[in-house]
Structure 1
Amino acid sequence: MTGFDFFNGRRAAGFASGAMIATSHPLATSAGLRILSRGGNAYDAAIAASAVQAVVDPLMTGIGGDCFALVAGADGQVRALNGSGQAPAAATVEALREAGVGDHIPLDSAHGVTVPGAVSAWCRLHADMGSLPLSDLFAPAIECARAGYPVTPRVAFDWAAEAGRIGADPHAARVFLPDGKAPVAGDRHAQPLLADRLEEIAQKGPEAFYGGETARSMVAHLNALGGLHTEQDFANGADAAFWTDPISATYRGHEVFECPPNGQGLAALVILKIIEGFDMASLSPADRIHVQAEATKIAYHHRDALIADAGACEGLVETLLSDRAIAAMRDRIDMTRAGEPALWDEVEHRDTIYLCVVDGQGNAVSFINSIFHPFGSTRLDPATGVLFQNRGASFRMDPAHPNAIAPGKRPMHTIIPGMLRTDRGMMPFGVMGGHYQAAGHAAFLSGVIDEEMSLQDAIDRPRSFATEGRLDVEPTIPDDVLADLAARGHRVNRVKGPIGGAQAIRPVAGGLEGGSDSRKDGMAAGI
């Protein structure tokens, strides 16, 4: 591990001897610590933190969204939890065409709302692995929603940028634009209807969300907006979350775990296997960024064409991770010039929360929750206070495409938790930032493994991302590096806002090391 820089203005790595949680919001971290301090395990703390963040970070996540998790017990066995929602039973390309949908499902359309999967996943994780009552785990979130919470600086920054979008829906505007404007940092915001929903779920389980009056109200509201949803679609969602085996690949001898399709974790593994053929530690900054950009374009080209719900892409993992396929992709990289941009026609996605927890028994949780676009679909049911995601907008309207919308189908997802097996135990990690996530996983792990960086340094390193025919770069990358990249043919674009966020925790000799992105409001803390 390299030495610590105490003069760069960013936070230092965190350390703890017993248990640790890392999130992108201080209240979420605090809630997880409260649970851990009361004897709860890592799974309990993850649920509590995610529930809080569903309240205090409404642009990014909520009970109307989806989630995925990777979990590992003290025995090191890794399992994947798929909490992504399904399309309504009546949703077909033909039905949406008849409803007037063109080549893309609009971001604010009810047709972009799949049955939310997060609540099903939270309850599945709790039923199978939790140790404290769900009412205890939801208590901090209910308190925030009922009594209100102070808006933090990064949340306020993002909120203001999306005020126009959320203002287009009168019901959402009443909740998220009090007095007609976005809250500023330090303002207090509450969501009492959301508190009611959380209390119902805590008392009655997932059926309180996917059935009864709550589900009837949500379905009626979506139907009024043109949606094809039924009460049966929601009833099916109560136990829709399911456990499955993760996918994995080695990088420099370290085993990296990702969730299988319908997530894009496969793209992260492909990038890692491509860059494994380069001596990343000895490359110049410009060479390193170039290699990562070229590997990203190649991997994402395959992702966009091939990754979909598991049943629509059988055998894809083995094919793309084969030595032959990786060698062919790696051979396409020319160190002197930028290759042709990969085809890119996925819906933009930026809004997600990621958190991770390791407890004193060695249980590790890598957990990600999202409503897809800023404030999701922006469609809020005024009777229940549920803000719906728009994950279905990433479905294709081409019936021949693997990711074409179909009854009960799950769309290709960008949200991906990660897990690394180290010589001391499991390291949960994750990167927020929509499409950037797969590229971010590879860049972060290369920093940790190739350059032996601390978690915090690897997280805070300036980011770049090859996307949509350009190379997005954060403004802290030096001018001479950017000039080098431009000379190779990269269309360099200095971004105005941060690229994503990240958290990670790993076991070290004295206990646990954690990092939480300085680009966000959160922190890594332990006991």
Structure 2
Amino acid sequence: MSTAPRPPALSVGGMVSSSHPAASLAGARVLADGGNAIDATLAMAGLTWLTLPGQCGIGGDAFAVVREPDGRVWTVNGSGFGPDGGTADFYAALGLSAIPMDGPLAVAVPGAPAALRALHGGGATRSLPELWEPAARIAENGLPCSERAAGDVRSAAQAVAADPGLSEIYAPQGVPVAAGRRLPQPALAATIRTLAHNPGSFYTGEFAERAVAALQAGGAPFSGDEWTAGARVTPEPALTGRYAGMVLHQTPLPTPGWMVLQQAALCDGVLGATEWLSAAAIDRLARAARLSFADRFALCGSDNRRNGVDYILNAERLDVQRRDLDGRTEVRGRIAVAAGDTTSTVAVDADGRAVSFIHSLAFTFGAKLTVPGTGVVLNNRLGRGAYLISGHPNEVKPRRKPLHTLNAWIVTDDEGALAHVGNTPGGDGQVQWNMQLISHVLDHGRNPAEAVAAPRFTVFPGSDADVIGAPEELRLEPGVPAGVRDQLSALGHRVVVQPRWGAGGSAQLISVDDRGVLSGAADPRQEGVALGVD
């Protein structure tokens, strides 16, 4: 991991950024060869399955925001349902007060293959076999394990060792792999090639039968019909809001993209009048985030837009919340925030097409469960995202998608001209850090390198199922000066100082100036890099 922010990369022809150099190089090569930003994104997605296997995979979920050269913006939202038999009564009969985080009961139908197929169909110029063959070849030969991947294995060592598919690759003879060890994955290589030729085969036929059988054998009440239903992903309009005279485009439900728009509405015109990273600015952002998490916990479910997101983003309600924040009289319910393991990419091509992409297994190595013989690790999104709270709009229910932490964003002007494309992984930190990135560039004119490396701060807890009700903290990286930390304590925050670069996340950001020059940067908290092409 880098110990200092790097200056932004510059380009006029196209640019990519990701959390691993090999993934960024794959995307840059596609752009240099004449591919577009969608092609580059798909190539980077395939490489990150190998470079960051604890954070993403074929068995996870994926979301994207795409800005076309004509200014049109659309999204792809790939997440799936829990099991058809997963009723509240089913979990109650097992004596559970929360859905487990590991194992078959934690799994939701993966949305990533369907999302990638929809993204490809939205304007790619290269075939999936061409874009994913490099990843398949590297999987076959074995990519050296990165320090981040080795750390992920160590953090989940016991569960990794317990699953035959995971232990064969990442903990042979029960010993977690070390950084630098080459990790051949022939089964995963074969799966990548199969899906490249037909992504829909993930949801039907032999692969689907294997996956559903493995889940059923572990006690998860999948019927198979909900697995087939996961194949249906079609492009959707973006959620939009305004900030600092610009237009924010975000991913819709089940993602928390609306939370960034809500925080933007609560902070617009306030942060630009404060000093960058001052106590007043951090206090406002922290309190806006806490209000947003309280609303998420109280009101939101993936199928509850009218009484949830539409109600929350109502202009009159936002005005009331702004006045409450101005007067420091806001009232919050209980909330909860947790981290997570996710990775993301951004890409802009020479035509001005931009893609913000994010994918995840939820927690590290997801449910710690592989589909036998395929190399595919399954997510634990149901365990992470769904509640066992009777009557709640996010209560687990057949054909109701659990709420998500993933979101992605693009900023344009009123005419649709591209200004910024960015995102960050990091569980419930995502909606906070994305708002911070947006404020850094729009309120204070920071370049991408300054924005992604800026001291990060996080309200804890937020709204994940496993941390509801934990004591409130404002977690700050030590780059926030001691005097500012003292002022925040005086304002009533319980300040907790984290290690340097210790907040989490791995932000990616590309900006375009009025000359059409691109500048970009990858977060120094991970191993990523931004690369430009002419």
Taking structure 2 as the reference length, the TM-score comes to: 0.91
Query: Cα deviation per residue 1:185-210 (whole Å; 9 max; x = unaligned)?
Result: 3222232211111011112x123222
* 1:281–1:451 Cα contact (<8 Å) kept: no
- In the other structure, the counterpart of 1:259 is 251
- In the other structure, the counterpart of 1:406 is 397
Q: Are 1:362 and 2:362 an aligned pair? A: no
Distance 1:282 1:246 in 2: 30
Q: Are 1:63 and 2:58 an aligned pair? A: yes
- In the other structure, the counterpart of 1:250 is 242
- In the other structure, the counterpart of 1:3 is none
Query: Cα deviation per residue 1:24-81 (whole Å; 9 max; x = unaligned)?
Result: 1111111111222222211111111011101220110000000111111111111111
In structure 2, the residue corresponding to 1:312 is in which secondary structure? Answer: coil
Distance 1:157 1:385 in 2: 20
* 2:367–2:379 Cα contact (<8 Å) kept: yes
- In the other structure, the counterpart of 2:366 is 376
- In the other structure, the counterpart of 2:478 is 475
In structure 2, the residue corresponding to 1:138 is in which secondary structure? Answer: helix
- In the other structure, the counterpart of 1:237 is 230
Distance 2:6 2:49 in 1: 25
Matches within 5 A, 1:119-268: 119-203=113-197, 205-238=198-231, 240-268=232-260
Q: Which amino acid letter does the alignment assign opposite residue 498 of structure 2? A: V
Q: Are 1:14 and 2:9 an aligned pair? A: yes
Distance 1:101 1:189 in 2: 40
- Cα deviation, residue 343, structure 1: 1.4
Distance 2:159 2:298 in 1: 30
Identity of aligned residues (%): 31
Choose the corresponding residue for 2:85, options 82, 90, 100: 90
Distance 1:228 1:39 in 2: 46
- In the other structure, the counterpart of 1:330 is 322
- In the other structure, the counterpart of 2:25 is 30
Query: Cα deviation per residue 1:76-132 (whole Å; 9 max; x = unaligned)?
Result: 11111111112222222122323x152210101422211101001111211232111
* 1:42–1:365 Cα contact (<8 Å) kept: yes
Residue-pair matches, total: 515
Q: Which amino acid letter does the alignment assign opposite residue 375 of structure 1? A: F
Query: Cα deviation per residue 1:135-172 (whole Å; 9 max; x = unaligned)?
Result: 11101211221111122333333433332343343442
Distance 2:147 2:512 in 1: 31
Distance 1:166 1:484 in 2: 44
Structure 1 residue ranges without an equivalent (≥5): 1-6
Taking structure 1 as the reference length, the TM-score comes to: 0.93
- Cα deviation, residue 254, structure 1: 0.5
Choose the corresponding residue for 1:295, options 267, 285, 288: 288
In structure 1, the residue corresponding to 2:399 is in which secondary structure? Answer: coil
- Cα deviation, residue 226, structure 1: 0.7
- In the other structure, the counterpart of 1:504 is 509
In structure 2, the residue corresponding to 1:172 is in which secondary structure? Answer: helix
Task: Tell me: CA distance 1:133–1:381, structure 2 relative to 1, closer, same or farther (3 Å).
Answer: same
Query: Which deviates the most, 72-81 or 323-332?
Result: 323-332
Structure 2 residue ranges without an equivalent (≥5): 462-471
Query: Which deviates the most, 356-365 or 311-320?
Result: 311-320
* 2:85–2:398 Cα contact (<8 Å) kept: yes
Choose the corresponding residue for 2:306, options 308, 311, 314: 314
Distance 2:174 2:10 in 1: 42
- In the other structure, the counterpart of 2:440 is 447
Distance 2:75 2:516 in 1: 28
Distance 1:301 1:253 in 2: 27
Task: Tell me: CA distance 1:430–1:29, structure 2 relative to 1, closer, same or farther (3 Å).
Answer: same
| RMSD between superposed Cα atoms in Å | 2.1
Query: Which deviates the most, 420-429 or 131-140?
Result: 420-429
* 1:349–1:372 Cα contact (<8 Å) kept: no
* 2:16–2:347 Cα contact (<8 Å) kept: yes
> Which 4+ runs in 1 deviate beyond 6 A?
337-341
